[in-house]
Structure 1
Amino acid sequence: MRRFNRIMTAALCSTICSTLVAPAAFAQQPAAEEDGDEPIIVTATLRAMDVQDIPLAVTAVAPEALEREGVSDIKTLSSISPSFNIQSSQTETQGTSIKIRGVGTTGNNTGLESSVGVFIDGVYQSRPGVALGDLVDLERLEILRGPQGTLFGRNTSAGALNITTKRANLSEFEGFANASYGNFNFINVQGGISVPLAQDVAAFRLSGTYRKRDGFLKSSTGAESNNRDRYMLRGQLYVEPNADVSIRLLADYSKVDENCCDAVIVRETELAPFFAFHGLASDGVDQSGPSALKNLATNAQQFINGAEQWGVSGELKWDLGGAKMTYIGSYRNFESNSTQESDFVSLAIFTTGAGGQNSRPGILPSGNRIKTMTHELRFQGTAFNDHLDWLIGGFYSTEDIVEDQTMTFGTDYQRANSAFNFANTLGVNPLFALTALGNGGIPVNSAGAFAENRFSQDAKSFSIFTHNVINFTDKLSLTLGARYVDEKKTASFDQLNSVNGACQASVNAVFNGGFNAAFAALPAATRNGIINGVVGLNCFPFAAPVTLAGPGGGLASNFLPLPREWSNVFKDDEITYTAQVGYKANPDLLFYAGYSHGFKSGGFNLDPTAANLTNSGAVLAGAGTVAPIFADPRFKSEKVNQIEIGVKGTFGPIKANLALFDMKMSDFQVLEFTGVQFLTFNVNSARSTGAELELFGDFGNYVKGNLALTYADARYPSNCADGVAPAALGSVTRLCGQDLTNAPKFTGVIGLTYDGPLNSSGWGLLVNGSMNYSDSRTTRTIDLDTNGLPVPLARQENYFKMNARIGLTTPDGRFTFELWGTNLSNEITRGITANTPLRGGAGTRSLIGFIEEPRMYGVTVRAKF
């Protein structure tokens, strides 16, 4: 198999090199038969404009370019735009984050919203996981870089992804069908038809896609992960009853049933030898380190991640004479579920969700349900002899979230975690010892302990906005825009059910019916070590009862850092704005400068530990005389101020765009997984400064090229902890002076394409080759451990990835046959690195890595009719 992989790589590369030169002899046809220098029309300003005339940084991608580069969903867009980055952790539906210019929200907490908004046909997709479907039957795709909150409804403080699907054709029948097969038994089928219902008045369009692939991660247990098994259908009715009115109604349905997302253990803990002492034949890790990365080998049981969603939307455009009205309304329903052996080892430690190796019979599945409704109304027109192009509008949305988090402890839970607390203050088997102290000398095993936790959140957003272009002359323009946003969220945490005898026994041991004088007399470091390392494991937050009894008949969570139910309200409002000056020196050269203020809503940490006690040691030592301090489950809204200066020009066959930017974020939202809990907090400041260069060349003879380079210094300043809440101070201090997560300083894309005649026979030839480069990047939230030491393997080293495609088209243009490959050099890279749950503390911690797609290759047949 490896030999075949090498042969495929060599064949593609050599074919590309030889055929890029050879067709020139047959390319002496009139220039009119080429694509020509057609302007690329985008709607980044909610008006149809040539991308070269818009005074902001936009990458516009045609569907043909997506096909050439093998871009099938938004997760592969970085092969076209180096400023764009997307990563997933243990669930794609909940753990996907998008970044532009190194800025974005990282984490798998549904309470966090994305800094990069995704809009499909003008409809806001409330979470990145909702927008992960296949890209099929598109009209265009636009990547807007920098704050876009003035024109786009919600959460675009770092940028926006604006996707437009093809409209139904009113005048003629058309259709297409694509079929692909590749390694890992990859199958992808796409198709679509457009049928006129009334000539030039009404038409119907139906498109769909099905994708299936084996997983590229193989576990020592026999399980596989990171496969593909999904389909999507989209239908639309498009009506133009007259020249002034158009109506577009869309409906879509999609389903995902996949095994995702296991992780490779890239670093194993030094505490593994203690497992045998505690009666375990192994530590549950058969594959780890460099060999596991090379072989794409994991250790866990089967991961399951499914999703089902549907939505409807409508768009009404009406030319009223003095103004053009646009209304877009939508409703979306999204449901996901996951069952995971989230300990990432072969031991029976714990399972999240239902139907897993250790799941309690009848336990609720883990997953979420998100229902979103949006309404947007805009009016746009011109005045003063077209010197003013004005736009005003309003936006309203509601979002209802219900998320269930369920967990069951397995038969190996207690012994495995005792190994990590070997020979501490309570002896060689501290988890059993502590439960015996609180249960009349009889140890209590954690096996079978479980909890069903539910989080609910209702959100409402209202905004009014305006965006105006003042054309002082044919060359000089000023753009002024503003939006007032009002946000309100109501959320709660309720525990539906939980049984955990070992946890209650541990709590009893600490209190012994009251305040344990001997425990309180221990040195603070020892006392806190027992609380966090022992009680924290027997009472692992995701499976700890909220009803545990403490002294005086009160709740134990008033004295120990244990889960607490809560209900709270978040409110905020903000004015976002933008100002841009554009100067058109000549029809082919635009200079611009702008300042923008963006905003991303705050919200709630949807985690059982969100409202935990933060001063447990002091409360216990004070025997109830010290007032408890509880964490606030809310986090603040994120704000950004950006200065951007740029130039866009056409110089003969070359189109060149250069943008310089400086983004300053305040109250930057961060999520960190400690190995025991998820912490969500605001960092006082973060910053991204850099430059972007895009070059597009049309060299004639059907040869085109592209080059895109991004330098982004995305980092936390050395004083980023100023004004941070005490509960988050330790984590934030370790961030200061470090890079933002998955923010490489240098990234680049280069490509060359021949798309013209093969020879005089009339057959067409497509040859495309491209290469992506990424500088080294940190793949963890925090590069340093709690001792301030660098975490091994926290950074992904720099790499190149090469893609290629060669195709032949029949003389009538109806059929195309392609051979393609992506990541031809088979670079194995990590998107996210995190602490392996419950597997050692600072200095001994095991690390997991979520792996990006390896080499893929295959064949595709395309048909048009």
Structure 2
Amino acid sequence: MRHFLLAGTALTLAIGGPALAQVTETPAPAPTPSRVAPAAAAASTGDAASQGLTDIVITAQRRVESSQRAGVAIDVVSGTQVLAQGITQPSDLNRIVPSLQVQDAGGANKTFFLRGVGNFTVNGYSDPAIAVNYDGVYLGRPTSTSGLFYDLERLEVLKGPQGTLYGRNATAGAINILPARPKLGEVSGFVDASYGNYNAVNVQGAVNVPIGSIAAVRVSGNVVSRDGYLTDGTSDEKTQAVRAQVLVEPSPDLKLRLAGDYSHSGGKGVGSSYDGAYALNFQTGAYNFVPSGLGAQVGLFDPKAQAYRQTLFLGVSGRTADPLANNVYLDNKFYGVNGELNWDTGAGTLTVIPAYRKADLNYNFGAAAFIGLIREKDEQYSLEARFNGKRIGPFDYVVGGYYFDEKVDGNYTFAQQALNAYQFYTSSTKSWAVFGRVVANVTDRFRLIGGVRYTDDHKDFNGRADVFVVVCTQRNAFGVPSCPTTPLLPVGTNYNALQPPFIVPPAGQARPIGATGAILSRVATIVDATLPSSQVTWRGAAEFDIAPRSLGYASVERGYRSGGFSLAAGYETYKPEFITAYTVGVKNRFLDNKLQLNVEAFWWDYTDQQIGRIGVDANGNQGQFSQNIGQSTIKGVEANVEVLPLPDTLLTGEVQYLDSKYKSFTYNQPAQATPPLTGCPTTLTAGVYTINCAGFPGFNAPKWTLTLAAQQTVRVGGFKVVGSVDTQFRTKRYVEAEFLPEELVHSTWTTNVQLGFGPDGGHWQITGFIRNLENDRIIVNTPTVSVANALVATTSAPRTFGVRAGYTF
């Protein structure tokens, strides 16, 4: 209730919120906002308001159209909002896209969840459930999504399968990151800088220069530097990025654009804190969670956390843990070159998009309470060609083809002291597809839409994982492993560097570790496999113009995501997953374009759903792997309202109800010295545990999500003050696959406020902001460290505040 009162009071005090505004947002020197129609792009809030809510132009369906006239589930964020909200990395999108959840999974890894569907993609050989497309180019690796959020035209978040019009098939949805493009005939640009607590500096800018009358160049860049949110300096951000584009239009029918970009991510990377540990009663087999007593702000490398770590018992090794080696860092480089040709042939427009992208990853992370060393090189080539034909009789159509070629070369070490896993692998993916969509304009108000896509995927994988475990062979009087003097495994990129008293055994054997009573065992998993797959995906839909400003729509569509590989015994390969999605909705404008009300209901059915998790493989080794867990159902309703009660006042609200449940989620684990650590029911038969998590909700799937926002402009002489407030409420949700009580995040509120000042229609502005007014560090990820039965927590940013100033020309 206090947040509803806050929103109302703030409105009275001329403080409002830009989160979903369709007129003008908090003043910012960004490119022309996509939420303002071109004719009104330079209008003030009052001018735009006099025309009512303006349209958001999107290209999500491979054509230029208003989002209010597109019968698809989509959220749109303008480049102005990205700048005003301080969005610099994917996890920041949690603040402005209610249905989206992005987790930092350690190092450069990001995991994306939409409407409770996604996957924990933390390696280079599993595909994400949500496709991220940058400037029309599919990004094969989630690690490559950093360093892109500057000088943008807009972000489009599409919900549900994207199995007909987009590059790679995606079951949960797609995120389109669209940079601002060069403009012919004008010298323009902007510079924007902000400074806040944690020594946060964010500087970005762009310059647009014409070359004669037929060409233009746009160069933009971004520098972000911020201290860590945790006491050990982790969860910091150090990013530098640059982008250059050339646009040539030799004739009204021909446009050619070339672009190149580079970004670097540095610093220490994402950090976490110890939430506690599960103490095992070896006689009863029951676990008892004991909180660490450390705050969420205490990083793993803080002396207090290191002292706590040395109390954690590594059951398999019969001793307590050593301090973590404090050598975490990021040194990741990303490169990209792409082009776009648009040729109006008279019969339609031909679009060709060739692209090349490369990533060089070199980082050590410790957010999982062990040290991971990642050395990975990614390369991808892609080519898309599509023809958007002019209407033939009652039919509009799009046809096209797509080719994708990716190679990944990785060397991973997961150093957990009691267990070290060394992985070497190469993987390649070749995918091609043909697709088409036809719109039958049955009447001026009624349309039928059909789309189909044939995709052929061919994946090859060659990898080896060597897992070394320090195993105590002695027991004390209580039956507990006891080897207090045995050494633990050091951090390193290669097991050949192990020094005495460790003796490297052959695969499948063990060697004593001196006279400590412990042995060093080694198990190797080799995967040399090929996965061919071909699928047909489709979409059928109907749209009806209920009124000049009201659209009704319904659709059913089929999507799929190809299978893949894991370096884990018993889980070497997994099959494709499939989704059938049903959607019905209405989009409306009322009261002379002063009120917008959109409502959508959806039902998603998954089969052979893929889940990536940390678990125990068939050889009894802990690792990260993916598997098909069965079926799940996701159903819900979303409603969005925007209203202009006064010319300079904008109120918005969005609510999502989500009912997500696993119909089947069963996996096995071999019996060991300790039982499985899980919140799901388990049974033990013939030395194998069966864990059944059916009936639990999906990860990151709060039943209710509510966003309220308000924006108010007050004019004083030739100046204006623009204030904003937005607040978001999410009910409880699980954030990890074990469904432990401590992995259930309870209901949360997050509120942001801004106050800007500048000349009315002028070129400069200054804005003060506070984000996360409540100062709550909300848990977004809770990985378990099975060798120590510890639980660590990665949290969102604490309260941040600062000032931002910008100038446009």
TM-score range (shorter-chain normalised) is 0.7 to 0.9
Letter in 2 for 1:193: V
- Is 1:63 paired with 2:76? no
Secondary structure at the aligned position of 1:292 is classed as: coil
- Is 1:804 paired with 2:807? no
Structure 2 CA distance for partners of 1:265 and 1:468, relative to 1, 3 Å: same
Structure 2 CA distance for partners of 1:499 and 1:698, relative to 1, 3 Å: closer
Please name the residue that 1:673 is paired with: 614
Please name the residue that 1:97 is paired with: 111
Corresponding residue to 1:373 among 381, 384, 390: 381
- Is 1:388 paired with 2:395? yes
Range moving further from structure 2, 207-216 or 103-112: 103-112
- Is 1:702 paired with 2:648? yes
Structure 2 CA distance for partners of 1:540 and 1:182, relative to 1, 3 Å: closer
- Count of residue pairs the alignment pairs up: 705
Structure 2 CA distance for partners of 1:566 and 1:773, relative to 1, 3 Å: same
- Is 1:224 paired with 2:233? yes
Distance in 2, Cα, partners of 1:732 & 1:45: 44
Deviations 1:211-259, CA, capped at 9 Å, x for gaps: 00000111xxxx3200011111000000111000000100000001121
Distance in 2, Cα, partners of 1:816 & 1:235: 26
- Is 1:716 paired with 2:655? no
Residues 161-310 of structure 1 aligned to structure 2 (within 5 Å): 161-199=175-213, 201-218=214-231, 223-270=232-279, 289=292, 291-293=294-296, 299=305, 300=324, 301-310=326-335
Alpha carbons 2:15, 2:755 under 8 Å: kept: no
Alpha carbons 1:80, 1:749 under 8 Å: kept: no
Alpha carbons 1:749, 1:773 under 8 Å: kept: yes
- Is 1:19 paired with 2:27? no
Range moving further from structure 2, 126-135 or 482-491: 126-135
Deviations 1:403-438, CA, capped at 9 Å, x for gaps: 1113567xxx4xxx5xxxxxxxxxxxxxxxxxxxxx
Corresponding residue to 2:715 among 755, 758, 763: 758
> Post-superposition shift, 1:370?
1.0
Please name the residue that 1:473 is paired with: 443
Please name the residue that 1:739 is paired with: 697
Alpha carbons 2:464, 2:524 under 8 Å: kept: no
Alpha carbons 2:194, 2:201 under 8 Å: kept: yes
> Post-superposition shift, 1:17?
5.0
Letter in 2 for 1:562: V
Distance in 2, Cα, partners of 1:308 & 1:52: 39
> Post-superposition shift, 1:343?
6.7
Alpha carbons 1:774, 1:799 under 8 Å: kept: yes
Residues 325-336 of structure 1 aligned to structure 2 (within 5 Å): 325-336=350-361
Alpha carbons 1:334, 1:371 under 8 Å: kept: yes
Alpha carbons 1:224, 1:302 under 8 Å: kept: no
- Is 1:315 paired with 2:312? no
Structure 2 CA distance for partners of 1:809 and 1:636, relative to 1, 3 Å: same
Please name the residue that 1:485 is paired with: 455
Please name the residue that 1:577 is paired with: 538
Alpha carbons 1:105, 1:112 under 8 Å: kept: no
Distance in 1, Cα, partners of 2:541 & 2:210: 42
Distance in 1, Cα, partners of 2:345 & 2:123: 45
Please name the residue that 1:828 is paired with: 777
Distance in 2, Cα, partners of 1:134 & 1:641: 31
> Post-superposition shift, 1:352?
3.5
State the percentage of identical aligned residues.
25
Secondary structure at the aligned position of 2:295 is classed as: helix
Structure 2 CA distance for partners of 1:11 and 1:452, relative to 1, 3 Å: same
- Is 1:651 paired with 2:590? yes
Please name the residue that 1:602 is paired with: 563
Alpha carbons 2:199, 2:227 under 8 Å: kept: yes
Letter in 2 for 1:204: V
Alpha carbons 1:820, 1:859 under 8 Å: kept: yes
Secondary structure at the aligned position of 1:261 is classed as: coil
Q: Report which of the two has the higher share of helix.
A: 1
Letter in 1 for 2:91: K
Distance in 1, Cα, partners of 2:602 & 2:49: 39
> Post-superposition shift, 1:779?
1.4
Distance in 1, Cα, partners of 2:464 & 2:439: 50
Secondary structure at the aligned position of 2:228 is classed as: coil
Residues 68-83 of structure 1 aligned to structure 2 (within 5 Å): 68-83=84-99
Please name the residue that 1:437 is paired with: none
Deviations 1:340-368, CA, capped at 9 Å, x for gaps: 34672xxxxx6443xxxxxxxxxxxx222
TM-score of the superposition, structure 2-length normalised? 0.81
> Post-superposition shift, 1:811?
4.6
> Post-superposition shift, 1:268?
2.6
> Post-superposition shift, 1:177?
0.3
Structure 2 CA distance for partners of 1:30 and 1:189, relative to 1, 3 Å: closer
Deviations 1:797-847, CA, capped at 9 Å, x for gaps: 1110000110101356111000001111111111111212520xxxxx321
> Post-superposition shift, 1:463?
0.3
Structure 2 CA distance for partners of 1:816 and 1:11, relative to 1, 3 Å: farther
Corresponding residue to 1:463 among 433, 436, 440: 433
Alpha carbons 2:106, 2:270 under 8 Å: kept: yes
Distance in 1, Cα, partners of 2:387 & 2:761: 44
Please name the residue that 2:311 is paired with: none
Distance in 1, Cα, partners of 2:143 & 2:464: 24
Letter in 1 for 2:715: L
Deviations 1:688-715, CA, capped at 9 Å, x for gaps: 1101111122333221122111111122
Residues 682-697 of structure 1 aligned to structure 2 (within 5 Å): 682-697=628-643
Structure 2 CA distance for partners of 1:128 and 1:377, relative to 1, 3 Å: same
Secondary structure at the aligned position of 2:128 is classed as: coil
Distance in 1, Cα, partners of 2:143 & 2:808: 31
Alpha carbons 2:210, 2:216 under 8 Å: kept: yes
Structure 2 CA distance for partners of 1:562 and 1:743, relative to 1, 3 Å: same
Distance in 2, Cα, partners of 1:291 & 1:339: 24
Range moving further from structure 2, 369-378 or 562-571: 562-571
Structure 2 CA distance for partners of 1:133 and 1:572, relative to 1, 3 Å: same
Letter in 1 for 2:446: L
Distance in 2, Cα, partners of 1:684 & 1:732: 15
Please name the residue that 1:53 is paired with: 69
Alpha carbons 2:11, 2:711 under 8 Å: kept: no
> Post-superposition shift, 1:489?
0.7
Alpha carbons 1:396, 1:462 under 8 Å: kept: yes
Distance in 1, Cα, partners of 2:690 & 2:600: 31
Please name the residue that 2:20 is paired with: none
Distance in 2, Cα, partners of 1:666 & 1:546: 42
Q: Which has the bigger relative contact order, CA under 8 A and spacing at least 6?
A: 2
Secondary structure at the aligned position of 2:80 is classed as: helix
Distance in 1, Cα, partners of 2:71 & 2:635: 19
- In structure 1, the gaps of 5 or more residues are 1-9, 22-26, 274-286, 345-349, 354-365, 418-445, 511-525, 552-559, 613-630, 784-790, 840-844
Q: Report which of the two has the higher share of strand.
A: 2
> Post-superposition shift, 1:384?
3.4
Please name the residue that 1:861 is paired with: 805
> Post-superposition shift, 1:41?
1.3
Alpha carbons 1:217, 1:226 under 8 Å: kept: yes
> Post-superposition shift, 1:87?
0.7
Residues 338-737 of structure 1 aligned to structure 2 (within 5 Å): 338-341=363-366, 344=369, 351-353=371-373, 366-385=374-393, 387-406=394-413, 413=417, 452-494=422-464, 547-548=506-507, 562-605=523-566, 607=567, 610=568, 612=569, 631-652=570-591, 653-674=594-615, 676-717=622-663, 719-721=664-666, 733-737=691-695
- Is 1:88 paired with 2:134? no
